Amino acid sequence: MNVVTRFAPSPTGSLHIGGARTALFNMLFARHHNGKFLLRIEDTDKKRSTDKAINIILRDLEWLDLRWDKEPVYQSNNYHRHREIVDKLIKEDKAYKCYATKDELDDLRQKQINEGIPYRYDGRWRNKEQSSAPINIKPVIRLKSPLEGQTIIKDMVQGEVKVDNKELDDMILLRSDGTPTFMLAVVVDDHDMGITHIIRGDDHLTNAFRQKVIFDALNWPHPKFCHVPLIHGPDGKKLSKRHDAVGADIYRKLGYLPEAIRNYLLRLGWSHGNDEIISDKEAIEWFDVKGLGKSSAKFDKTKLTSLNAHYIKQKNNYEILELILPMIEKNSGATVDGVSREMLLEGMNSLKNRSKTLSDIADQSLVYVNKLPLNFSDKAKQILNSENKLLLSKINRHFNDLSEWTAPNIENWIKTYCDKNNSKLGNIAQPIRAAITGSTQSPPIFEVMAIFGKKEVTLRINQAINS
Ligand code: GLU
């Protein structure tokens, strides 16, 4: 079978982390089977869909490297096709015009509420003579849903699920303004796009029954359904806007790597033995429906962050540099010149080891970006008191004794100096740090000194003494 999957976001906001997981699962399933992964933008709800949201979703899918095949399908472009299908259903007497007014339906709803039964349209126009139709009312088109029996779905995750057909009322296919409903549009588009498998959140399971009824009415085979339990927040409730950081864009801004997010989302509801770190290649090789769990997974930001730290360490230093440059420039307003870039590359291993996100690296990188004169932090100013300034001037004079300016040599030299002067390493390292970085926190100070070079260190210490 030629597998074709799809991701079908409604562009009403940013890409939700749960949506990103749905896209990932569909992409991996398609890649695993050498099939196609398509993207459909479900923009028929013109009031709620925005171009801005479309652009954000496309941008974040690309950022996450969840690449789709072919051009995206915009559901609103298929308007005529949707109407054509409804006309066909009317001709085949499988759908009908319903002229019930809002007031009438409100009464019906109230009556059913009073009887303690869920609201269901009662099919009052199903068999009515259309000649009795009022002239001043634009009808909706409803499907003649089966009245008896059951609708059964063999879901690849949930197993066999069924509903009594008497619980499914005659759903609307076309609204009175002629626009197709979500339920109809999804079915027609899935059919026309040749979708073979639908992997999506189990909040769509009830829709699947109705969609199957439409597929059946059209004598179209329906795609295989695969409803995945939703992601929950730490409080055990469905992950939603109420929770912190549910949009993929937030993680991009916070400096998470796409590969870390993919790996994390993959493990959120899918497993392959005890494997935690899974490469993209392995993910494609291993992804199967068997690995999908039946219970909802909890979103754990700490776990995501530690995976991110892992992927940061793995990533090539040049690539990290390219990723952090815009962040540094945006945050500090500084331009990163060639000298700073060289220094950043030299110090990158330590920066990576100390960081969990790209933003952490960008923050710590300032030590190699800030030029003289430095802005000393309050804590650094405190450390640079007259006693420490005196100490620094003594040490500064002796740096010339050091033949090779490397981090281990500098460290040894300072340790020996401490021993001779009965001092502790921190008592010397901290004033040096404050003097040459303007701060009390930095990557390992001897490494920073080595990367700056003797001349620059001497210059910085002199400036700090005279500040
Ligand atoms: N557009 C729907 C949503 O964003 C998904 C529809 C589907 O996957 O069938 O929730």
Q: What is the pLDDT of residue 399?
A: 87
Least Cα distance to 380 among 336, 442, 329, 333 occurs for 442
Domain that holds residue 460: 378-466
Whether residue 91 sits in one domain with residue 21? no
Q: Does the pLDDT value for residue 1 go beyond 90?
A: no
Same domain, 406 and 450: yes
CA 1 to ligand 1 centroid distance, Å: 24
Enzyme catalytic residues: 241
Distance between CA atoms of residues 86 and 180, nearest Å = 9
Distance 304 CA to ligand 1 centre (A): 25
What mean pLDDT do residues 199-208 have? 96
Residue 335: is it exposed, middle or buried by C-beta count within 10 angstroms (0-12/13-18/19+)? Answer: exposed
Please tell me whether residues 58 and 89 are part of one structural domain: no
CA distances from 46 to 56, 75, 129, 192, 407 (A): 17, 11, 34, 22, 62
What digits encode the pLDDT tens for the residues 414-463? 999 999 998 999 999 999 999 999 999 999 999 999 999 999 999 999 99
Q: Is 377 helix (H, G, I), strand (E, B) or coil?
A: coil
CB 362 within 8 A of CB 256: no
Query: Does position 350 have pLDDT exceeding 80, yes or no?
Result: yes
- Whether residues 57 and 81 share a domain: the answer is no
The structural domain count of the chain equals: 4
Reading the block at residue 165, the tokens are 């057909």
**In terms of domains, do 43 and 92 share one?**
no
Average predicted confidence (pLDDT) for the chain? 95
Domain containing 236 — which CATH number? 3.40.50.620
Q: Measured between alpha carbons, how far is 451 from 407 in angstroms, rounded to an integer?
A: 8
For a mutational test of ligand 1's pocket, the pick from 74, 198, 200, i.e. the residue with the most ligand atoms closer than 8 A to its C-beta, is: 200
Burial of 95 (0-12, 13-18, 19+ CB in 10 A): buried
SS (H, E, C) 164-233: EHHHCCCCEEECCCCCECHHHHHHHHHHHCCCCEEEEEHHHHHHHHHHHHHHHHCCCCCCEEEEECCCEC
- Contact partners, residue 162, CB within 8 Å, separation at least 6: 150, 151, 152, 153
201: β partners: 228
Q: Is 14 helix (H, G, I), strand (E, B) or coil?
A: coil
Q: How far is CA 9 from CA 14, 36, 43, 183, in A?
A: 10, 17, 8, 14
* pLDDT tens, residue by residue, 158-177: 999 999 999 999 999 999 99
Q: What is the pLDDT of residues 80-116, one digit of tens each?
A: 999 999 999 999 999 999 999 999 999 999 999 999 9
Contact 5, 27 (CB under 8 A): yes
- pLDDT one-digit tens code per residue, 313-342: 999 999 999 999 999 999 888 889 999 999
CATH of the domain at 462: 1.10.10.350
Ligand 1 pocket by Cβ (under 6 Å) = 8-10, 42, 186, 200, 204
Say what the pLDDT of residue 449 is: 98
Q: Which atom of ligand 1 is nearest to the CA of 42?
A: 1
Which tokens go with 78?
Answer: 């298929």
**pLDDT band, very low/low/confident/very high, at 222 (cuts 50, 70, 90):** very high
pLDDT at 284: 98
Q: Summarize pLDDT for 115-156 with one digit per residue, the tens.
A: 999 899 999 999 988 888 888 999 999 999 999 999 999 999
Q: How far apart are CA 30 and CA 226, in angstroms?
A: 13
Same domain, 82 and 179: yes
> Quick check: 49 pLDDT over 80?
yes
